[in-house]
Homo-oligomer: A and B are copies of this chain.
Amino acid sequence: MTITAHTSHQPAPAPATLDRARELAEPLLRETVARLEPWMTRIAAYHLGWADADGNPGTFDSGKALRPALALLAAEAVGASVDAALPGAVAVELVHNFSLVHDDVMDGDRHRRGRPTVWREFGVTAAILVGDALQVLAFDLLLSRGGPAGPAAAARLAAALRELVDGQARDLRFATRPWTGPGAVTVAEYRAMAAGKTGALLAAAGAAGAVLGGAAEPATAALDAVGRELGLAFQCIDDVLGIWGDPAVTGKPVWGDLRERKRSLPVVVAASGSAAAARRLAELLAGGPETPDTRLRAAAELIEECGGRQACEREAAAALARAGAVLDAVPMVPAVRAQYAALADALLARVS
Q: Please name the residue on chain B nearest to A156 by beta carbon.
A: B143
A248 contacts B by Cβ under 8 Å: no
Q: Please name the residue on chain B nearest to A106 by beta carbon.
A: B125
A128 to B169, CA, bound (A): 11
Stretch at the interface among A46-54, A63-71, A159-167, A342-350: A159-167
Q: Which of A255-279 contact B (CB under 8 A)?
A: none
Checking B39, B139, B140, B166 against A36 with a beta-carbon cut-off of 8 angstroms, the contacting residue is B166
Would A165 and B133 count as touching, CB distance under 8 A?
A: yes
Would A155 and B144 count as touching, CB distance under 8 A?
A: yes
Would B161 and A136 count as touching, CB distance under 8 A?
A: yes
A139 to B156, CA, bound (A): 10
Q: Please name the residue on chain B nearest to A125 by beta carbon.
A: B106
Tallying the copies of this chain within the complex gives: 2
Quick one: which of A40, A129, A132, A159 has the most chain B CB within 10 A? Answer: A132
A128 to B105, CA, bound (A): 9
Checking B106, B126, B143, B159 against A140 with a beta-carbon cut-off of 8 angstroms, the contacting residue is B159
Residues 133-177 of A, flagged 1 when their CB comes within 8 A of B and 0 if not, give: 101110110011000001100110011011001101110110000
A102 to B132, CA, bound (A): 9
Collect the chain B residues with CB atoms within 8 Å of residue A155's CB.
140, 143-144
Would A124 and B124 count as touching, CB distance under 8 A?
A: yes
Checking B131, B140, B172 against A162 with a beta-carbon cut-off of 8 angstroms, the contacting residue is B140
Residues 176-190 of A, flagged 1 when their CB comes within 8 A of B and 0 if not, give: 000000000000000
Would B124 and A137 count as touching, CB distance under 8 A?
A: no
Collect the chain B residues with CB atoms within 8 Å of residue A135's CB.
132, 135-136
A126 to B165, CA, bound (A): 11
A294 to B288, CA, bound (A): 45
Quick one: which of A39, A129, A136, A173 has the most chain B CB within 10 A? Answer: A136
Would B143 and A154 count as touching, CB distance under 8 A?
A: yes
Collect the chain B residues with CB atoms within 8 Å of residue A170's CB.
37
Collect the chain B residues with CB atoms within 8 Å of residue A168's CB.
129
How far is the CB of A211 from the nearest CB of chain B, in Å? 12
Q: Please name the residue on chain B nearest to A157 by beta carbon.
A: B139
Would A172 and B139 count as touching, CB distance under 8 A?
A: no
Checking B39, B128, B161, B173 against A128 with a beta-carbon cut-off of 8 angstroms, the contacting residue is B128
Q: Please name the residue on chain B nearest to A105 by beta carbon.
A: B128
Query: Which A residues have a C-beta under 8 Å from some C-beta of B?
Result: 35-37, 39-40, 102, 105-106, 124-126, 128-129, 131-133, 135-137, 139-140, 143-144, 150-151, 154-155, 158-159, 161-162, 165-166, 168-170, 172-173
Closest 10 CB pairs of A and B: A151-B151, A143-B155, A37-B169, A140-B158, A139-B158, A136-B161, A106-B125, A133-B165, A37-B166, A40-B169
**Could you show 26 A-B contacts with beta carbons less than 8 Å apart?**
A35-B162, A36-B162, A36-B169, A37-B165, A37-B169, A39-B173, A40-B166, A102-B129, A105-B125, A124-B124, A125-B172, A129-B165, A129-B172, A131-B132, A132-B132, A132-B135, A132-B165, A133-B162, A133-B165, A136-B162, A140-B158, A140-B162, A143-B151, A143-B155, A144-B155, A144-B158
